[in-house]
Structure 1
């Protein structure tokens, strides 16, 4: 729509990250957290930690929707704070609230909690309007998916979600219980729990202030929902929205409690806040440091696969990791993993996916060359495929170092070999392409 090309996601997410940091620091400033002019080191340290706690450095580089989701979460929280002060939320707060579940389904939990929070804070028309828009928007999306014979939830949610019943564990525990157990035993989940408990402690101190208590409980409800239904990791992007929201609520609640604390107790509180935010920020600091390496990995593997498919082979290909290979490709890119293929997803979910199904797929779509991670297909590949090359990359952040190239019966052997040899002469110095079969 904006014709920004490949730089569009970076520009949009970079702007969202900057807007997130500005909105969060602004609400903390107006709440009085930084009122002590003699304590500038604390203010600067909190500001720095906020930058990393919302992953404003690394997250925009992923090129996905998560930075916008973090922005919508923080701006919705700012709207709740405004309502608690007796101010009417603005159209921007309305847009952020409505966007929460429309950007990512994970945003539905906080959206529902926030709608209830706004209603309890006296903004019933605002809450009702947001609820109606969200319901209409999601209903339209579900109707469109149903009309096309697709599942109501995206394949990425159904395949990657821990609640998708793809867990091969023999446990008879319900999926939500198993997911809660993952939260309790995960380092990410433990950080979230500790921050949530700290927020609950501040909420207890603020129980005489009904409106402040509502704001805190709204965020605590969202934390609980993520612990039960949410995920973590994936380059530290799946949980960042709830971590950012929790940090925002914790700092705001600390500012509300501050006037009630003696000087010495406030000093201990500041130290605890810095320590807590520092621990919470650790994964995102690490991710920021690793991001340049991750970008290099993408260039040396995924981008090279895309170059081969689009500039050398120039025919339909099959992959297990849709992305750059499919982006801007005028030829068909078959997904053998299921994120972009409902047929594959259903077969994997039913436990009926293996070499025979893979063979049928490449035949149906006229695919002559396959580029996959062998480790992702424990049942093996069709016996009719010929292993012709392996692209070896010194990756640090990608799932696998080696990408195996297979020629199917639909490909011309001489054409494939010629394309591989021409491609080999152009790959980066750190890559290695081993051509196996002529």
Structure 2
């Protein structure tokens, strides 16, 4: 029977319910069920619900050849994570390479769920009188904060969430006079290494430590937070790139609400956008609930107020400068931080008694997550998204690599670039600073055609509505590749196939003739008028 120290130094029994194991089992079970649904929809073929994992896989392939980008000989920074692409380097060039994002997401999920359960135990949910609340928080909590759903995406966000929970657990132990500095440093370092958003929790935690008398640890935490970001920026500059990755610059340009806004105007605009999203509102409510609980209960005047302020400041930083949504992955780290922090504070606010506040708090978190994220709907939305990626992007990739076998321009980078030896021109700009700058600063009619001519790219596969009058003036539309089943987080359900000059029409048409008979169910190719052979 395991024993854990409480805040006052007394011991309590975690009982026969291993909360960490239950959290892991709950999260992994949902994750596995969702993967099973995908296999049933795709006829036994695994795929991701977004094209983005393939961007990191394509980047990892080039890293394996001692370069950085998606095309050999052309430096680019399409990914915003400093560390994640390097974790994907093993097995580059093999079919098994496809599964590394899934594996690392699973690792992040397991660590995040285990740390969630560990926080519950150390906060007091393992006590006999808290057992049923502990069971509910351990089993349903990881689902309410989207752990298995975000891991399903196959990106670095689950690892980032695990690092953030390690930071929170370290802070909890520190303020309990039970160590925790090692966890704080590890959480701060890896949080920033996986996502640039990790800067806020790490630096805020560093300030909290410094201002509460633990100055050496505060400075060390600040250094651990800044080190991976500074190293990444220095590495990018050494490659001849901007210090900020193209993906980050692209997102910053998308959040601009007007012409040359001031700093405060921009922050408020982003805040309003984020609070319109259920996920953003849920994060804000959790942070506010922790603050009110601190001010209105025996927590007031205790050291736990510092933890409340750390959580609240980190939440505010994300709501003012971060993004909410797109499979709920961008806010995942701050969601798990605010939710776990709220649960950790409940037993302290009730002085260990199971009061209506404790019962209502656990129930509100679980029900709030279920409502904010429409949890049951994810079984109907996420697996079909993987089918959509497999049907659209997967078949486009097969067309380019097996049938076209030449350079191509796209605006949805990833699947087409992965394991492709030919040049891929990214017209959206994640892998092309030139395209990004033209698109975001001075686009002129037909500008995409200027780029395809400059790089001698004969074919373009694009979503027309992404460019409007930016489509090349000399491009010849040969037809449209259409997805005929609803569902999926795609840039569009119709991809237009263009020959970038009249001279390449015959080549594209010939490749299409061979490819079209192989199309999967739920997809079709419609020839443009007068183009069918």
One fold, TM greater than 0.5?
A: yes
Matches within 5 A, 1:9-408: 9-37=101-129, 40=132, 42-89=133-180, 91-120=182-211, 122-161=213-252, 165=256, 167-168=257-258, 174-204=265-295, 205-208=297-300, 210-259=302-351, 266-282=355-371, 283=373, 285=375, 286-350=377-441, 352-393=442-483, 394-397=485-488, 398-408=490-500
Q: Measure the CA separation in 1 of the matches of 2:324 and 2:167.
A: 22
Q: Measure the CA separation in 1 of the matches of 2:277 and 2:449.
A: 38
| Contact 2:463/2:492 (<8 A) preserved | yes
User: 1:340 and 1:411, CA in 2 relative to 1: closer, same or farther beyond 3 A?
Assistant: farther
Of the two structures, which has the highest relative contact order with CA contacts closer than 8 Å and spacing of 6 or more?
Answer: 2
Q: Measure the CA separation in 2 of the matches of 1:288 and 1:18.
A: 20
Report how far residue 202 of structure 1 moved: 2.1
Q: Measure the CA separation in 2 of the matches of 1:403 and 1:356.
A: 18
User: 1:381 and 1:68, CA in 2 relative to 1: closer, same or farther beyond 3 A?
Assistant: same
Q: Measure the CA separation in 2 of the matches of 1:272 and 1:142.
A: 42
| Contact 2:452/2:458 (<8 A) preserved | yes
Length-normalised TM-score, structure 1: 0.91
* More moved, 82-91 vs 20-29: 82-91
How many residue pairs get matched?
Answer: 432
| Contact 1:385/1:409 (<8 A) preserved | yes
| Contact 1:176/1:228 (<8 A) preserved | yes
Question: Structure 1, residues 328-386: CA drift from partner, whole Å, max 9, x if none?
Answer: 11111111111221111111221x22443211211122211111111111224122111
Gaps of 5+ in 1: none
The residue aligned with 1:2 is 90
Question: Structure 1, residues 182-236: CA drift from partner, whole Å, max 9, x if none?
Answer: 2333322222221111110222235455322211111111011112111101111
Gaps of 5+ in 2: 1-88
| Contact 2:279/2:328 (<8 A) preserved | no
Q: Measure the CA separation in 1 of the matches of 2:270 and 2:381.
A: 28
| Contact 1:236/1:284 (<8 A) preserved | no
Structure 1 stretches of at least 4 aligned residues deviating more than 6 Å after TM superposition: 169-173
Q: Measure the CA separation in 2 of the matches of 1:105 and 1:190.
A: 22
Q: What SS does the aligned partner of 2:125 have?
A: coil
Report how far residue 39 of structure 1 moved: 5.1
| Contact 1:389/1:433 (<8 A) preserved | yes
Report how far residue 151 of structure 1 moved: 2.6
Report how far residue 249 of structure 1 moved: 0.3
Q: Measure the CA separation in 1 of the matches of 2:479 and 2:364.
A: 50
Q: Measure the CA separation in 1 of the matches of 2:162 and 2:201.
A: 13
| Contact 2:475/2:502 (<8 A) preserved | no
User: 1:34 and 1:88, CA in 2 relative to 1: closer, same or farther beyond 3 A?
Assistant: closer
Q: Measure the CA separation in 2 of the matches of 1:171 and 1:132.
A: 32
Give RMSD over aligned pairs: 2.4
